Structure 1
Amino acid sequence: MSIADNLRQVQRDIADCAAQCGRSASDVRLLAVSKTKPLADLESAYAAGQRLFGENYVQEAVEKYQALSHLSDIEWHFIGPIQSNKSRQIAETMDWVHTIDREKIARRLSEQRPTELPPLNVLIQVNISGETSKSGIELSDLEGVVALVKSLPNLSLRGLMAIPAPQTDMALQREVYAPLQQAFLTLQKNDPMVDTLSIGMSGDLAAAIASGSTMVRVGTAIFGARQYT
């Protein structure tokens, strides 16, 4: 199957999952995780209508941003961990950052965002499974991080992101997501700009959409198996 065929299938899956829980497919945006994929694959996805692309590695993200700069309506999302010495490159090129979990990084991104660009859209990453190997804040620390991000002039807080521990049972997946969903809804009540809950990948798409996801991150189902270089 082609990348265009794969995209259509993923979009059908999203629509089916949304319908099953009484939501509209238009409420869930698809982020194509394009890390390690060649430019030709991104161009194929773009030609098929995809506009949101997610990258994990700074140098690769910047190279793709530059190579595809003629496609001005691409929305670039950085979804990987951020080293402080790479923050400027992210601030200068990306439209969204999903992985805010430290004050130092948030401040640097705001300070380094070029003034001619709109504020950088950011999500606070929450470690909902308590995994020491994963980044993210504890939900108990969310209020303070929200206040920090809102105080920074060149960042725009749009919501929350999480990567839970792998779990195959849908009921357990939803159980893990429940506190995050509630935190997101509370955040939304207090801030009309908050509109994005970035949860859900191929393995937990249905549970994430049933738990209020507004953005799902899908890579392999669109582009095929990951390529390592």
Structure 2
Amino acid sequence: MNSIIDRLKEVRSSIESACLQSNRSPESVQLLAVSKTKPADKIRQLYQAGQRHFGENYLQEALQKQLQLTDLSDIVWHFIGPIQSNKTRDIATHFTWVQSIDRLKIARRLNEQREQHMPPLNILIQVNIDDEQSKAGIAPDQLAEFAAELQQFPQLKLRGLMTLPAANPTAEQQRQSLTAMQRLFSELKSQYPTVDTLSMGMSNDLETAIAAGSTMVRIGTALFGARDTNKE
């Protein structure tokens, strides 16, 4: 079985190959290691191999790991899961990025609870690109209005968009969804100078997402192996 460092090298190689095939610079795509349900020692191993950005879905689990890794001063934590109102204070305090913004109420709470001495919280708007009932995210036609409303919050910095496309699509459905996200991203980027991040693509669709313009891929299984069962 390959070690986690070997898997990191393989993922980085896959990103580089996908970028070259799309005539993009490999530096234009950020790797986010999705470390939910995985122990702090695995995160430390990846950190020691140069990985800095880590994504967590479950707040209490993330806070425990952050306590175990306080010596890693430049680690960058992304919250990528659903956000409950009673958890916004800890998210505002302990994360650098939040990728799952789809409600004004949550954005307002994060803005109010982000300490003034801290830099603004980097946020991505989650878009439900395939209109799935089971998934969070705003509808594409709500994006312009929602992004405009977010400008009232000085402790939030709009960086772009995130999506979770439908599972097991046909190749054409997958391409259409990812291309639609790229169009939304381009429109948003033309309006807001802080926008530079399109977070889409996971272990099973990394190459397609990069071809469609993703600037950040969220990789869990290909790095850590199968996800452990865990609930917050």
* TM-score tier (shorter): over 0.9
* C-alpha RMSD over aligned residues: 1.0
Match of 1:223 in 2: 224
Q: How many residues align?
A: 229
Runs of 4+ residues over 6 Å off in structure 1? none
- TM-score norm. by structure 2 comes to 0.96
Match of 2:123 in 1: 122
Gaps of 5+ in 2: none
Match of 2:12 in 1: 11
Match of 2:53 in 1: 52
Q: CA deviation at 1:65?
A: 1.8
Mapping of residues 92-111 of structure 1, within 5 Å: 92-111=93-112
Match of 1:87 in 2: 88
Residues in 1 aligned to 2:62 and 2:204: alpha-carbon distance in whole angstroms = 25
SS of the residue corresponding to residue 112 of structure 2 reads helix
Amino acid at match of 2:203: S
String of CA shifts for 1:99-156, please: whole Å, max 9, x gaps.
0000110000000001111000000000001110000000110011101111101000
String of CA shifts for 1:32-82, please: whole Å, max 9, x gaps.
000000111011111111100000001111112222121011010000000
Q: CA deviation at 1:168?
A: 5.2
Q: CA deviation at 1:197?
A: 0.1
Mapping of residues 152-171 of structure 1, within 5 Å: 152-167=153-168, 169-171=170-172
Gaps of 5+ in 1: none
String of CA shifts for 1:154-189, please: whole Å, max 9, x gaps.
000000000000235433311112221111101111
Amino acid at match of 1:109: L
Q: What is the percent sequence identity of the aligned residues?
A: 54
Amino acid at match of 1:195: D
Match of 1:2 in 2: 3
Q: Is the 8 A contact 1:168 1:204 kept in 2?
A: no
Residues in 2 aligned to 1:93 and 1:99: alpha-carbon distance in whole angstroms = 15
Tell me which moved more, 79-88 or 64-73.
64-73
SS of the residue corresponding to residue 197 of structure 1 reads strand
- TM-score norm. by structure 1 comes to 0.97
Match of 1:201 in 2: 202
Amino acid at match of 1:16: S
